[in-house]
């Protein structure tokens, strides 16, 4: 099991729509709207590191209104 956190930078004020769209992606456990220089943090848990890339690169980055993502894979 691989756990990862994806920091999402938006370019739209529709934070609710983005949060819902991200939470609908399979492998995403939860997503929260946060204060600061990123807008949403999503927590993933999947079977392999390759799936982390699929979710962040294809899934989350494919949502309109997402400007950029940064992914952190948990090591513990």
Partner 1 sequence: MRFVIIGAGRVGLRTARVLSAEGHEVVLVERDADMADRARTEGYEVVEGDGSRESVLEEAGIDDADAFGALTSDLNTNFAACMIAKHYGCRTILRIDEDYREDIYRKYADEVDEIVYPERLGAIGAKNALLGGDIRAIADIAQNLQVVELTVQPDSPMKGYTISEISLPADATFLAFGKNDRPLAIPSSDESLEEGDRLAVLADFEVLDDVRQLIVGNAKRAAAGGI
Nearest to partner 1 of 37, 76 (CB atom): 37
Continuous H helices in 1-76: 15-23, 49-53
Nearest to partner 1 of 35, 75 (CB atom): 35
Nearest to partner 1 of 30, 58 (CB atom): 30
Q: How far is the CB of 40 from partner 1 (least distance, A)?
A: 10
- In 3D space, the residue among 28, 27, 37, 29 whose CA is nearest the CA of residue 7 turns out to be 37
Torsion of CA 75, 55, 41, 12, to 10 degrees: 160
Q: Which residues bind partner 1 (CB under 8 A)?
A: 10-15, 33, 35-37, 39
**Three-state SS for 23?**
helix
Q: How far is the CB of 20 from partner 1 (least distance, A)?
A: 14
Q: How far is the CB of 24 from partner 1 (least distance, A)?
A: 20
């Amino acid at each position: 099991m691989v756990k990862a956190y994806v920091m999402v930078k938006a370019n739209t004020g529709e934070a609710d729509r983005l949060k819902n769209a991200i939470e609908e992606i399979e492998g995403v456990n939860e997503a929260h709207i946060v204060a600061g220089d990123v807008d949403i943090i999503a927590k993933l848990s999947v079977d392999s590191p390759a799936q982390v890339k699929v979710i962040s690169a294809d899934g989350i980055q494919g949502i309109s209104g997402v400007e950029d993502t940064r992914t952190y894979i948990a090591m513990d």
